[in-house]
Amino acid sequence: MKKISVYRPTTIEEAIQILSLHGTEAGVYAGGTDLLIRLKNRLKQAPTYLVDIKKINNLRYIKEDAQGGVRIGALTKLAEMAESDLLARKYPMLVQAVKMISSPELRNASTLGGDLLQEVWCQYLRGGYSCWRNGGYICYGAIGDNSYYHSAMGGRLCYAVYPGDAAPALITLDAKVKLATPSGMKELTVEQLVPGDMMVDGRIQSHVVRFNEILTEVVIPPPRPGFRASFEKLRPRGVWDFAMASTALGLQLRDKTIEDARVVFGGISGKPFRERSVEEFLKGKTLSAELAGQAPSQALRDAAPLKYNATKIDMAKGLLTSGLEKLAAS
C-alpha cells in the first residue's frame, strides 16, 4: 500500500480547509470499505492524504424532521439504517434495499455517504489493471469478461456500472442530499448527485462531489398516503454481491390507479437508470398483474449490451414485472 498521511479534523470547516489545501491528492475517509481497497490496489485515483471525518460530530443520525420526513447523517452505518424502526415504518423499501447491500459485517462498517459515492467495482480496475479509468488507454471490461459488473446500456470510455443500491432506492423516494462546500451548503437531488461518469476536477467519477466538498446529509420527504414501493435485486452470489440488475419502484396510487411513478434500474448502467418511458406508460393506468406483464415492453429500448451481458436487460425487465406484481397483490 502506498504511504499515506491521515488528518483527523473535528469540524466540517476544518475538513474542507484540509481538502482545499491538498486538492485532488486528498480524499474523505469514513467507513473505509471502498477507500482502503482502492489504496491497497494502488489505484491511480487513490488519495495520498486521508481526511478522516469520523471525529466530526453530528454526521451520524436518523431522525424525523418537522415535516414528517427523515434526515440521515452521511456517517450513519448501513447496519443502523437496516435496523431503524423509523425507516422501517416510513420507508420499508429503503430498508429492504439496504439489507441487500453486501454482508452484515460490511454493513457494520459502511456508511450511507460511502455507499452513494463509492468507486465502480470493475474487476479489472480493482485488480490494478492499467485501464482507461486507471490512467491507461484501454477498457478491458469492454473487450474481456463483462458478464457481471459492466454496463448493458452503453458507455463511453469506461463501461463499469454504478454499483450502489441506496441511490436507486433514494431516487424513487425523491430524496435530496446536502453537501458542505467552501462557500456554504449546497442541495442536490440524489439523481443529480450520481449522473454517471464525468470528469470532476480532473478525476473520472460517477458523482459530482468536488475535491473540497463533503456529503453531510440525506433528506427524504415525508411518505405520502397511497405511496407504495418495492426493491428487487439479482446478484451473482446470493448472500452478498453487487447487483447484476436491480429495480426500485415507487407508485403513487389513488385506489388502484397509478397517479405518478418512479422506475429506477440499478446494476445495468453507469448511473442509476431512471426509466421515464415506463413511468409515463404506467401513469393513469390501473395497477394489476396484467399491467405488470405489459410494462417491460416499454423498458430499456436503448439497451446496448456488451458481448456477455445481454442477460442483464432480461433480468431488469423481469424484476420490473415481479416488483409490479407484488405491489398489485399487496
The residue with cell 484540509 is: 18
Is residue 152 part of the contact set for ligand SF4 (CB under 6 A)?
Answer: no
Binding residue (CB under 6 A) for ligand SF4 from 7, 29, 91, 140: 140
Radius of gyration of the chain (CA): 20
Min dist CB 120 to ligand SF4, Å, is 6
Q: Which is closer to ligand SF4, CB of 38 or CB of 228?
A: 38
Residue 133 interacting with ligand SF4 (CB under 6 A): yes
153-172: which residues touch ligand SF4 (CB under 6 A)? 158-160
Q: According to CB under 6 A, which one of 53, 125, 248, 292 is a site residue for ligand SF4?
A: 125
Choose among 159, 161, 130, 122: nearest CA to 142: 159
306 binds ligand SF4 (CB under 6 A): no
Nearer residue to ligand SF4 within complex by CB, 30 or 120: 120
Which grid coordinates belong to 11?
Answer: 469540524
Residue 87 or 131: which CB sits closer to ligand SF4? Answer: 131
Let me know if 324 is exposed, middle or buried by CB neighbors in 10 A (0-12, 13-18, 19+): buried
Q: Min. distance of Cβ 38 from ligand SF4 in angstroms?
A: 12
Place of cell 468507486: 119
DSSP H or E stretch at residue 14:
helix 12-22
CB of 166 to ligand SF4, least distance (A): 21
Grid cell of 260 as nine digits: 405518478
10's grid cell: 473535528
Tell me the pairing of strands 5-7 and 49-52.
Answer: parallel
| Footprint on this chain of ligand SF4 (rule: CB under 6 A) | 120, 122, 124-125, 131-133, 139-142, 150, 158-160
